């Protein structure tokens, strides 16, 4: 079967690249897509072959986020804001983590039924996507680990954090891949509540500057491979 014909049989996912954006912009677009997918079918709603949207951005500034399990006390929140960072509570799973420039944020807002996935296999697909991205960049040692070590690791250092939310089969939030992130921001928290573990980035692992823009083509290939979908580009997030 020709590649074009095969692509027509795969679920379609809208690709929304925000570039460098405030974290609040990503959350607002995520909320728009959640409402769209959760709404009753009507003219203009996604078709049965369209599974949702892949929202991507590089955070424009430093942000610490807490998950459903907490992760940041009021005292810690005050201390982190004094560093010049934004602090937000989110509805994703997990504890505290950091987002900032040099990081690829990926929020797939997907109807799992249209992809034939359950929540657990969705998380596994996100991990597999990040592992595949590392392989495409020449890092063969990246691996996923069992809970509570959700995410993708190089040795004892996490290179990609994963935290998702799922309601009525619709996912939100997703993964954060460190490309050229300033890792010193992580020193002010216990990332994901895992004491004794560290963080790393593609730049640190490969010993050269790896930007989010450089990683994007490989990431999109990895996403389509692991989620078995076709990405449809959008010119703007509106």
Output the known binding site for substrate: 92-99, 161-163, 174-176
Is 46 strand, coil or helix? coil
Largest CA distance in the chain: 59
Tell me how far apart the alpha carbons of residues 122 and 116 are, in angstroms, rounded to a whole number. 10
Q: How far apart are CA 123 and CA 120, in angstroms?
A: 5
Q: How far apart are CA 209 and CA 92, in angstroms?
A: 30
- Tokens representing residue 43 in the block: 């003219």
Residue 59, helix vs strand vs coil = strand
Those residues whose C-beta lies under 8 Å from the C-beta of residue 143, and which sit 6 or more positions away, are 131, 152, 153
Distance from first CA to last CA of the chain, Å, rounded? 35
Show the tokens assigned to 49.
């072959």
Cβ density class 175-200: b for 16+ within 10 Å, e for less: bbbbbbbebebbebbbbbbbeebebb
Whether 192 is catalytic is yes
Which among 57, 160, 179, 192 is annotated as catalytic?
Answer: 192
Known catalytic residues are 192
């Amino acid at each position: 079967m020709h590649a074009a014909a095969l692509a027509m049989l795969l679920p379609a996912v809208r690709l929304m690249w925000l570039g460098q954006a405030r974290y609040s912009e990503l959350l607002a677009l995520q909320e728009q897509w959640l409402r769209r997918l959760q709404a009753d079918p009507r003219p203009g709603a996604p078709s049965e072959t369209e599974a949702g949207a892949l929202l991507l951005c590089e955070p424009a500034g430093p942000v610490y986020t807490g998950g459903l399990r907490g992760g940041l006390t009021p005292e810690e929140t005050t201390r982190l804001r004094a560093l010049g960072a934004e602090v937000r509570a989110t509805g994703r799973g997990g504890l505290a983590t950091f987002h900032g420039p040099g990081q690829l944020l990926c929020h797939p807002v997907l109807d799992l039924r249209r992809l034939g996935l359950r929540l657990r296999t969705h998380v596994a697909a996100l991990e597999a996507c990040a592992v595949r991205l590392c392989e495409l960049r020449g890092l063969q040692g990246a691996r996923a680990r069992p809970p509570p070590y959700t995410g993708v690791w190089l040795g004892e250092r996490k290179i990609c954090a994963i935290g998702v939310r799922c309601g009525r089969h619709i996912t939100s939030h997703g993964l954060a891949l460190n490309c050229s992130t300033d890792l010193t921001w992580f020193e002010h928290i216990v990332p994901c509540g895992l004491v004794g573990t560290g963080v790393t980035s593609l730049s640190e692992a490969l010993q050269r500057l790896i930007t989010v823009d450089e990683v994007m083509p490989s990431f999109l290939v990895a996403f389509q491979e692991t989620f078995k979908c076709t990405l449809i580009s959008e010119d703007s997030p509106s």
